Amino acid sequence: MYGWRLALCVALISLLCMGLQSADKKNLVTEIPVVSIKGPIGPAVSKQLMTEINTANQQNNSPIIIITIDTPGGLVSSLRDINQTILASDIPVACLVYPKGARAASAGTYILYACHVAAMAKATTLGAATPVQMGPSPDKISPLKKGEDAQPENLAPSAMEKKVLNDAIAYIRSLAQLRGRNEEWAELAVTEAATLTAKEALALNVIDLIAASPQQLIESLDGKVIELGDVKITLDLKDAVLVNKQPSWQNQFIATITNPNIAYILMIIGIYGLLLEFYSPGIGIAGITGAISLIIALYAFQMLPLSYAGLALLILGIVLLITESMLPSFGIFGVGGVAAFVVGSIFLFDTPQPQFQVSPVLIASIAFVSILFFVFALGYILRMRNNAVVSGQEAIIGADATVIDDFDGQGFVFLNGERWNAISPQKLTKGQTVTIIEINGLSLLVSIVEPKEASNGTHSQ
C-alpha cells in the first residue's frame, strides 16, 4: 500500500535534485562585465567605471573586466580617478579601443597604458597625449621642420607649462614601466603628440594584441598568463558570457548636469528664479524652481573644474545689471555688467578642454536675455511696486465720490460706479462731490471737497 507512495516521493526528490543541479550549472556561467567609454572623459564616466570595477572586485565572480574606449580625451582629475581604480583592482582589466574608427586620444592613451591588457581593433588609433594647454616644445621640433617652419623662441613653454609637461611624462612612463610597455613612445605621445595605428602600436610593444571585438578579445586571452601585482594568474575564459554594463539612472543624471552648458543654464535659472521671488513675491514657484536649479548647478560645479574668478565675475555682472535696473545710470552699470557677465561665463570652467567649456553661442544668448531680463523686466517690476494702489482700502481713502440725494448725517454716494452708504457731519446736496476720509465697516465717512481758488497773480481794484 505504501510502496507507490514511497516511489512517488523518490521521483519527486530526484526531480528536485535535477532542478537544483541545473540551477547550479546556470549559476556557474562565467560573466565578464563590459564597460564602455564613449565621448569625453568626465565625472559621469569616471563614476560609472569606478563603480563597475569596484562592484566586480567585491563580488569576485568575474575573471576579467573589459573596457571599450572611444574618446578624444577628458579631464585630468577624472582620468586619475579611473587609473587609480584600475591599478588597485584585484581583477585584471583589459582595455580595447573599439569599434573600428575609434580612438584612444589624450586621456584614453593613459588609461590604455594603465590596463593589465591593452588591445586595439583594426582601423583605430591612440596617442596625442600632450596636455592640451601645451604645444610641442621648440627643442622637440623635427629636423625636417627646422628653418621657416620652426617655432619662434618666444613660444617656449613657461615654468608652469614645463611642470605640467614633465608631470605628464613621468606619469605615462611609470604606467609603461609597470605594464612592461614601450616607454620611449609613451614619452613621444606626450611631448610630440605622437599617434599610432593598431598595427604600428602592436609592432612597437605599445599594446598586447589586436582584436576585432570584445568577444574576440576574450577568445584570444583564454589561457593567457596575466601578472596581477606579484602574482601570475592564468585566465580561464571558456564559455564566458559578456555582459554590457549600461549607465544607471544616477550616472545618466550626473552626465546630464555635468555638461557645462546644462550646469551653466541651471545656475542662470537658479539666480533668475530667486531674484523674481525676491522682487515679486508670489506663491513660491519661481523661488522653489530657482533654489532647486541652483543647488543642482552647485552640485555639478563641484565635480567640474570650476574657476572661482570666473564665477565671481559672472555674479558681479549680474549685480551690475540689477543696479542698472534699479538706478538708471545711462548704461554705465549695464555695459559693465554685460562685460563682466560675458568674461565670467567664458572663464567659468578652468580647463582648455573644449568639451568642458560653455558654448560661446550659449553665452551670447544668455547675455542678451539677461540684458532684457534685468534692464526691462526687473525694471518694470520695480516701477510697478512704486505705482499708486488702485484697489483695496488704500485706494478708497482719499478718493472722490458723488452724492446721490440730499441728506444730512447719513445717505448714499456713488464711488467707481458703486452705491455706498455715507456718513457726513455736514449737510450735502445731490450731485455734490465729496472726499472719502475713512471707512467705518460698510459705511464711508465723507467730507465736502473745498474748491480750489484759481490765482492769476493779479488783484482786483
Tens-digit pLDDT profile for residues 395-419 = 677 788 888 888 888 888 888 778 8
Contact 331, 339 (CB under 8 A): no
pLDDT at 461: 38
Q: Averaged over 90-106, what is the pLDDT?
A: 94
What are 116's three cell numbers? 593589465
CATH 3.90.226.10 intervals, the chain: 23-141+162-244
Q: What is the pLDDT of residue 381?
A: 58
Lowest mean pLDDT among 65-74, 142-151, 254-263: 142-151
pLDDT for position 28 = 59
Contact between residue 398 and residue 369 where contact means Cβ atoms under 8 Å apart: no
What average pLDDT does the segment 55-67 reach? 92
- Of residues 274 and 6, the one with the higher pLDDT is 274
Does residue 194 register a pLDDT over 90? yes
Categorize the per-residue pLDDT at 97 as very low, low, confident or very high, splitting at 50, 70 and 90. Answer: very high
Q: Check residue 7 and report its DSSP letter.
A: H
DSSP codes, 396-444: HTT-EEEESS-EEEEEEEEETTEEEEEEEEEEE-TT-EEEEEEEETTEE
The residues, any chain, with a CB within 8 Å of residue 171's CB and separated by 6 or more, are 110
Q: Where are the beta strands (DSSP E) in 23-92?
A: 31-38, 65-70
What pLDDT, on the 0 to 100 scale, is given for residue 353? Answer: 75
Which pLDDT does position 68 carry in this prediction? 96
Q: What secondary structure does DSSP assign to 368-400, as a single string?
A: HHHHIIIIIIIHHHHHHHHSPP-SSHHHHTT-E
Average pLDDT over every residue of 262-284: 80
Q: How confident is the model at residue 326 (pLDDT cuts 50, 70, 90)?
A: low
- Residue linked to cell 541545473: 22
pLDDT over threshold 80, residue 140: no
| 390/78: higher pLDDT | 78
Phi, psi for residue 448 in degrees, rounded to 5: -65, 135
State how far the Cα of 188 lies from the Cα of 218, in Å rounded to an integer: 30
Q: Is the dihedral of CA 211, 216, 217, 219 positive or negative?
A: negative
Dihedrals phi, psi of 87, to nearest 5 degrees: -65, -30
Q: Which of 344, 261, 274, 276 lies closest to 309, judged by CA?
A: 344
The pLDDT of residue 155 is 53
Comparing 46-60, 298-312, 384-398, the range with the smallest average pLDDT is: 384-398
Residue 127 has pLDDT above 70, yes or no: yes
Tell which wins on pLDDT, 375 or 439.
439
CATH architecture of the domain 393-448 equals Beta Barrel (2.40)
* C-alpha span between 250 and 418 (Å, rounded): 61
- Alpha-carbon Rg for the chain, nearest whole angstrom, is 38
Q: Cα(33)–Cα(379) distance, rounded to whole angstroms? A: 58
- Please say if the pLDDT value at position 460 is more than 50: no
Mean per-residue pLDDT, 253-282: 84
- Residues 280 and 379: their CA atoms lie apart, in Å, by 12
Q: Return the C-alpha cell found at 419.
A: 452705491
Query: Which CATH code is given to the segment(s) 23-141+162-244?
Result: 3.90.226.10
Q: Considering the chain, what is the average pLDDT of its residues?
A: 81
Least Cα distance to 205 among 102, 112, 272 occurs for: 112
Q: In the prediction, which pLDDT does 90 show? A: 92
CA distance 317 to 339: 7
- Among 85-94, 194-203, 444-453, the range scoring the smallest mean pLDDT is 444-453
* φ/ψ of residue 420, rounded to 5: -120, 150
Judge whether residue 145 has pLDDT over 60: no
In this model, does residue 190 exceed pLDDT 90? yes
Percent of the chain surpassing pLDDT 90: 34
Query: What mean pLDDT is predicted for residues 293-317?
Result: 89
Domain with CATH 2.40.50.140 in the chain: 393-448
Rounded distance between C-alpha atoms, residue 105 and residue 195, angstroms = 8
**Beta-carbon contacts of residue 81 (< 8 Å; ≥ 6 apart):** 46, 50
Provide the pLDDT for residue 148.
Answer: 42
Q: Which of 171-180, 230-239, 350-359 has the lowest mean pLDDT?
A: 350-359
CA distance 303 to 153: 37
Angstrom distance (rounded) from CA 128 to CA 112 = 13
Burial class (CB in 10 A: 0-12, 13-18, 19+), 458: exposed
Distances (CA, A) of 405 to 73, 98, 217, 400: 88, 95, 103, 16
pLDDT at 139: 42
In 3D space, the residue among 189, 164, 218 whose CA is nearest the CA of residue 112 turns out to be 189
Low-confidence winner among 78-92, 174-188, 337-351, 370-384 (lowest mean pLDDT):
370-384
Q: Is residue 279 pLDDT above 60, yes or no?
A: yes
User: What mean pLDDT do residues 167-173 have?
Assistant: 93
Q: What is the pLDDT of residues 3-50, one digit of tens each?
A: 555 555 555 566 555 554 444 444 557 889 999 999 899 999 999 999
H helix intervals, 225-259: 249-257
- At residue 153, does pLDDT exceed 50? no
Instruction: Measure the CA–CA gap between 233 and 224, rounded to whole angstroms.
Output: 8
Cell of 443: 459705511
C-alpha cell at 105: 586620444
Under 8 Å between Cβ of 132 and 73: yes
Lowest mean per-residue pLDDT among 52-61, 100-109, 395-404, 426-435? 395-404
**Contact status, residue 41 vs residue 75, Cβ threshold 8 Å:** yes
Instruction: Give the other-Cβ count within 10 Å of 161's Cβ.
Output: 15
What number is the average pLDDT over the span 110-123?
A: 95
Residue 354 DSSP symbol? G
Beta-bridged to residue 443, according to DSSP, are 421, 440
